[in-house]
Amino acid sequence: MKTAIITRLDCKEPVRALKMSYRGITGRVSMHGGGRAHHESALERDWLKCLAFDPDVKSVTVQPFTMSYEYEGVVRTYTPDVLVERETPAYGAKIVVYELKFRSELKEIWKEFRPRFRAAVELCRANDWRFKIMTELEVRTPYLANAIFFRRYAALAPQKITEEQLLFSLKALGPTTPQALLAASYNTRESQQIAMPFLWRLIAHRRIAAMLDRPMSMHSAIWLPGV
């Protein structure tokens, strides 16, 4: 028996009701395209925060479908955690299906997980998608810390004069650091403090580029995109 999707979403709601586990916590994460995505574990929550901060992500569907597969003569079902559609390919495809599991959980019951994951890989290949297992090592990275930090500033109302001043100074300076840019843009410590949230807003909206997969500080490299 081949793997098959037996339930597919026509909306953004999960295909099954969220459930609590001894490792989990349910809730929702606000996504950058509007709406909120459900989660039922802290690891899923953290991955959704990364996806919500990624401008390459077009859409996120939690528990997007339930698939059937046969193992040891029994037809079983499996519902992956997240389906993501991207502007550009990741792992060789624009649509990636993710399963979020803690490493300790994978070790504990790998024999149970392995058949469903193999079936998911087969199904995704048949649809030109990719299947990816994510653990805390792949999710809880500097990018997550940056996503949490900068998303606080993404919703700030723009301050046109301040932001234009920062962008003008950055163009004149070339690649620099947040500390040097603020110092070049404003003479007083007070003015620099006032401008700082709008510098973070510019980074959050990718109008100023930074290495977001590395820990950020006032001494991190920043530059104008495409320069």
**Least trusted range by pLDDT, from 2-6, 146-150, 176-180, 213-217:** 2-6
Residue 22: the pLDDT is: 46
Mean local confidence (pLDDT), 185-197: 98
Question: What are the extents of the domains in the chain?
Answer: 4-139, 155-223
At 139, is the secondary structure helix, strand, or coil? helix
Higher pLDDT, 220 or 5: 220
CATH topology match: 4-139 vs 155-223: no
- How confident is the model over 44-102, as pLDDT tens digits? 999 999 999 999 999 999 999 999 999 999 999 999 999 999 999 999 999 999 999 99
Instruction: Compute the mean pLDDT over every residue in the chain, rounded to the nearest whole number.
Output: 91
Structurally, what CATH architecture does the domain formed by 155-223 represent? Orthogonal Bundle (1.10)
Token pair 């300790």 in the structure block, residue: 104
Which pLDDT score is estimated for 9?
47
pLDDT of residue 41: 93
Higher pLDDT, 40 or 176: 176
Q: What is the DSSP letter of 130?
A: E
pLDDT at 115 over 70: yes
Please give the Cα distance from 36 to 52 (Å, whole number).
10
- Per-residue confidence band for 194, with pLDDT thresholds at 50, 70 and 90: very high
Q: Which two tokens stand for residue 7?
A: 């339930």
**pLDDT tens-place string over residues 19-60:** 544 455 788 888 876 788 888 899 999 999 999 999 999 999
Provide the pLDDT for residue 178.
98
State the alpha helices, DSSP H only, in 127-213. 136-139, 142-154, 160-173, 178-185, 189-204
Report the CATH fold assignment for 4-139. Trna Endonuclease; Chain: A, domain 1 (3.40.1350)
Is the pTM above the cut of 0.85?
Answer: yes
Question: How far is it, in rounded angstroms, from Cα 121 to Cα 216?
Answer: 35
Residue that the structure tokens 């504990």 belong to? 108
| Contact predicate 102/138, CB 8 Å | no
